[in-house]
Amino acid sequence: MVSLGLEDKVVVVTGGNRGIGATIVSFLQELGAKVAFTDLAIDEGKSSALGIKADVTSLESMEEAAKQIEEKLGPVYGIVANAGITKDNFFPKLTSQDWDAVINVNLKGVKNTIVPFIAGMYERGEGSIVSISSIVGERGNLGQTNYGATKAAVIGLTKSLAREAARYKVRANVVAPGFIDTEMTLAMPEKVRDKVTAEIPFGRFGKPEEIAWAVAFLLSPVASSFITGEVLRVNGAHYT
């Protein structure tokens, strides 16, 4: 039988309480991984995975979460840096607060997620890091200069990290979703959703499960063992 080789591997997912993150959590559990997730708030009883309250904008908070996760589940093999926010506005109207908030969660948050685990991964000589970027990081979008900047930066961070980490046999990759049906995109005005749908050659938004499959592939020590520094686009042919 073919397997992705994720059985009993410890994987951490940030922003796993809802949306794409929650789907990734349950999907990885189905593949046999021991999954922990972090979020600003945890809905008790919603998931059987280990949920830890932690804020990705704080390195201290993520270090404390990492300690708890490794104590309870063991050394972490995989990281899914998924937590992300939008604070959209046209550039001249974008406040410094909204600029900083998005940078802090979407970019600094990715760094703060990886830092507490990377030394252990290097020591053990194994690990796979998957960060969630966005089609907007490569294509741009109206009202999303802050968001687009962070999502492009996550690709830059990953490509450099992949080069550094290769000698330790640790991999770093990016999944760049197109428009996916979650609360984040359901909040878009209907007119905008219809316009975006018309631009997607597949004629629909993606599903969170379609992102989870891509994440599982890139986490897999079997399926993607020689893939690092890559961007896997999951967007129904919605390119530039």
Under the rule (CB under 6 A), what is the footprint of ligand NDP? Answer: 14-15, 17-21, 38-41, 55-57, 82-85, 105, 109, 132, 134, 177, 179-180, 182-185
Residue 177's closest CA among 23, 73, 30, 58?
Answer: 23
CB 109 within 8 A of CB 133: no
CA distances 103 to 49, 57, 70, 150, 176, Å, are: 28, 9, 28, 6, 17
In the bound complex, what is the minimum distance in angstroms from residue 100's beta carbon to ligand NDP? Answer: 12
177 has which bridge partners? 234
Residue identified by tokens 């039988």 is 1
The burial of 75, by beta-carbon neighbours within 10 Å (0-12 exposed, 13-18 middle, 19 or more buried), is given as middle
Count CB-CB contacts under 10 A for residue 115.
Answer: 13
How many Å apart are CA 156 and CA 123, to the nearest integer?
24
List the catalytic residue out of 122, 147, 168, 239: 147
Name the residue nearer to ligand NDP (CB basis): 128 or 134.
134
In the bound complex, what is the minimum distance in angstroms from residue 130's beta carbon to ligand NDP? Answer: 11
Residue identified by tokens 């219809």 is 194
Name the residue nearer to ligand NDP (CB basis): 46 or 163.
46
Residue 147 is a catalytic residue: yes
79 has which bridge partners? 12, 129
In the bound complex, what is the minimum distance in angstroms from residue 226's beta carbon to ligand NDP? Answer: 26
Name the residue nearer to ligand NDP (CB basis): 7 or 235.
235
In the bound complex, what is the minimum distance in angstroms from residue 231's beta carbon to ligand NDP? Answer: 12
211-224 b/e with 16+ CB inside 10 Å = b?
bbebbbbbbbbeeb
Name the residue nearer to ligand NDP (CB basis): 56 or 130.
56
In the bound complex, what is the minimum distance in angstroms from residue 123's beta carbon to ligand NDP? Answer: 26
Name the residue nearer to ligand NDP (CB basis): 77 or 205.
205
* Residues belonging to the active site: 147
